[in-house]
Amino acid sequence: MENDSKINMIEEAGLLEPSQEYREKSYVSSENEYRTKYAMSLQDSNAFWNSVADELDWFKRGDTVLEGEITDFKYFPGSLINVSYNCVDRHANGKRANKVAIAWEGENGDAKILTYKQLQREVAKFANVLLSLGVQKGDVVSVYMQNLPETFVVLQAVLRIGAIYNTVFAGFSPEALRERVNNSGAKMLVCANASFRRGKVLPLKGIVDEALTQAPTVEHVVVYHRIDHETPMQEGRDFDYAELMSKASDVCPPVPLDANDPGLLIYTSGTSGKPKGIVHAGGGFLLGTYAYSKYQLDLRDEDFYFNTADIGWLTSHIFVLVGGLACGVTTLLYEGALDHPHPGRLYEMIDKYQVNKLFSAPTAFRMLLKHGDELAQKYQLNTLELFASVGEPLNPEAWDWVQRSLGKGRAVINNTWGQTETGGTPLALLPGAISMKPGSCGVPFFGHELAVVDAGGQDVEPMTPGFLVLKRPFPTLVRDVWNDHERYLSTYFSQIPGMYFTGDSAIIDRDGHFWVLGRVDDVINVSGHRISTMEMESALIKHDAVVEAAVIEQPDEIKGTVPIAFVTLEKSYKASDEVEEMLKQKIVDEIGSFARPQRIHFVDVMPKTRSGKIIRRMLREIVQTGGVMGDRTGLEDSEVIDKLLGSIRGE
Ligand code: PRX
């Protein structure tokens, strides 16, 4: 959708008040209360973060809240805290000891629960396992696992001893895993032997073995045997999770850490071909995610909360692993595909566990919409009161349907906005307080100063598109790019000095709601998975058959957008279905199956500028409209478009 039609849509969006019932019980109960608190939180953001810090447990708490400013800042420098203590022990040693922390369901129907007390024991045991294998404070541990209680145990254990975890989505290929492991310099890798995905067994350990053929820093691999499946183990390097756990002591005191020590590392796609390691401070991440989870999801003790995010992406860390557990919530964790073995699987789990808060991806909501009321009506779904999502636009059609059909017209729908780099969601509703607008990303969170600016950094008027920026630091903002401080400075802070540049464009409407329009760089969003088109192009070019490649996105009803590639072939190759399949597979091998292009067009020429840069905007227009209506003056060869259209039609 072009900006003009988006602006019309925004102008026309109506405000929908949350129900009185919800208003009465939420942490912030009116728009006025939000506005007053928000203004105060900007006037004195230190006082706001101090009030959040008061709700957590510290080993030592100094007086300084913020030191420094954007590009080089610290929250609570010198203050000592431990994330795992706050997520686990704080509850296990108190009233929530026997409360369910994690209720897990495997794709095949296996189920397990862990109370806070049980979680504490398991975390302490695995922390001892890590120590016994030589992992120390500051070492990186890569984790290649699906959603399992054991994944939570491993990650919390890493945080407990002050090491740094790096989760890699267990859908990444061996190449992509190797690249991440090597860039991070991981000392250890923890994986599951296999996972279920749509009934198929995915041999994760096999992928790990392939990845580690050239990963010299990894000394040990710990394998959790999730499925009875042949799993080769390398003598001396590989250890069995259960065996190590059976011998480990369940006492392991958490290590007091400076709130700014790195806690986690997660790779994400940027404009260049190489993914970058986003570094988050452990204490800062805890502080912020606790506040987002509490206020934006309104988490409380009586909730049964289901977040479908995969642990390979940061959403799960923000709202479950760290933020959710820090709030002491009961969370449902699910291993597999939401529509397997039947399209009603998600609904079935909602009824079974009486879930009242559901966090999922817009793609999942669109998938459910496709199955329509007919499927939804087969289930009760009468406990749901809040739906939240992040990662990609939640289109008004899906929003309306979720509200009406799943939320029975009374639920709150919270379309939050955040990034791996922001480590949380600076934009969202506060359920119960802020009126909803289908499609908007809500309002700024306390202590966060967001703006929409022009290229010179000046605020633009309401209803005018511009760059979305954050004008001051906050505890979960990316602290560095692993091993590449220059890239940190140039990617996020060079466009508009003194501000964090999000890479998104946005509009602020006349009611102060923010609308995120999309990326202003070469990053695309497929089902909420963030993929760099440059990374896909680099993968294609590595193949002998490819001379040039350009990847663009095309709108898709369910996935939001899907990647489409344009390729010029080396002379000895002829365009064919087999070559198309081979090149799609190349991307799957280099990145993972979630990046598989929907289509590859073989072309003889590419539209280029006089300096030889491919003009992807024109390819996008060709795919979306079948021609190029816009300006063609930048083209090196004006006939190239007709040649291109000719070769695409000839396919
Ligand atoms: O373009 C924005 C889009 O997703 C990007 C961030 O992706 P990722 O780092 O994978 O973040 C995961 C969330 C912690 C953003 O730059 N995005 C995120 N939320 C929304 C969105 N686009 C539109 N609407 C949203 N609600």
> Does residue 319 register a pLDDT over 90?
yes
Question: Is the whole-model pTM more than 0.85?
Answer: yes
Whether the upstream peptide bond of residue 253 has omega within 30° of 0, thus cis, is no
Q: What residue ranges do the domains of the chain occupy?
A: 522-649
**Spacing, Cα 247 to ligand 1 middle (Å):** 43
**Spacing, Cα 439 to ligand 1 middle (Å):** 14
Whole-angstrom distance, CA of residue 353 vs CA of residue 383: 10
In this predicted structure, what is the pLDDT of residue 2? 60
> Does residue 644 register a pLDDT over 90?
no
Q: CB–CB of 331/357 below 8 Å? A: no
- Of 269-283, 379-393, 636-650, highest mean pLDDT: 379-393
Each as own residue / partner, the long-range contacts of residues 630-636 (CB below 8 Å, 24 or more positions apart, any chain) are 634/609, 634/610, 635/607, 635/608, 635/609, 636/608, 636/609, 636/610, 636/612
> Does residue 62 register a pLDDT over 80?
yes
In this predicted structure, what is the pLDDT of residue 433? 94
> Does residue 1 register a pLDDT over 60?
no
Whether the CB of 310 sits within 6 Å of ligand 1: no
In this predicted structure, what is the pLDDT of residue 522? 84
**DSSP conformation class of 405:** I
> Does residue 216 register a pLDDT over 90?
yes
For a pocket test of ligand 1, which of 394, 507, 516 has the largest count of ligand atoms closer than 8 A to its C-beta? 516
Q: How far is CA 224 from CA 191, 193, 194, 415, in A?
A: 6, 6, 9, 35
Least confident residue range of 18-22, 101-105, 184-188, 438-442: 18-22
In this predicted structure, what is the pLDDT of residue 608? 84
- Percent of the chain exceeding pLDDT 70 equals 99
Homologous superfamily in CATH for domain 522-649: ANL, C-terminal domain (3.30.300.30)
Whole-angstrom distance, CA of residue 612 vs CA of residue 592: 30
In this predicted structure, what is the pLDDT of residue 39? 98
**Residue 648, token pair as written in the block:** 């695409």
In this predicted structure, what is the pLDDT of residue 60? 98
- State phi, psi for 127 to the nearest 5 degrees: -60, -40
Least confident residue range of 52-61, 442-451, 571-580: 571-580
Average pLDDT of the chain is: 94
Whole-angstrom distance, CA of residue 429 vs CA of residue 295: 9
In this predicted structure, what is the pLDDT of residue 274? 83
**Residue 482, token pair as written in the block:** 């692993």
- Which whole number is the average pLDDT over 181-208? 96
What pLDDT band is residue 272 in, cutting at 50, 70 and 90?
A: low
In this predicted structure, what is the pLDDT of residue 612? 77
DSSP string, 545-564: TEEEEEEEEEEETTTEEEEE
What pLDDT band is residue 651 in, cutting at 50, 70 and 90?
A: low
Question: Which atom number of ligand 1 is nearest to the Cα of residue 517?
Answer: 23
Whole-angstrom distance, CA of residue 59 vs CA of residue 257: 9
Residue nearest to atom 15 of ligand 1 (CA): 419
Question: Which atom number of ligand 1 is nearest to the Cα of residue 422?
Answer: 14
> Does residue 639 register a pLDDT over 90?
no
Residue nearest to atom 6 of ligand 1 (CA): 419
Q: CB–CB of 271/532 below 8 Å? A: yes
* pLDDT tens readout for residues 569-618: 999 999 999 999 999 999 999 999 999 999 999 998 888 877 778 888 88
> Does residue 82 register a pLDDT over 90?
yes
* pLDDT tens readout for residues 238-271: 999 999 999 999 999 999 999 999 999 999 987 6
- Which whole number is the average pLDDT over 166-194? 97
For a pocket test of ligand 1, which of 530, 531, 553, 594 has the largest count of ligand atoms closer than 8 A to its C-beta? 530
Residue nearest to atom 10 of ligand 1 (CA): 530
In this predicted structure, what is the pLDDT of residue 417? 98
In this predicted structure, what is the pLDDT of residue 289? 98
Whether the CB of 395 sits within 6 Å of ligand 1: no
> Does residue 6 register a pLDDT over 90?
no
- Which whole number is the average pLDDT over 509-535? 90
> Does residue 490 register a pLDDT over 80?
yes
Whole-angstrom distance, CA of residue 586 vs CA of residue 315: 28
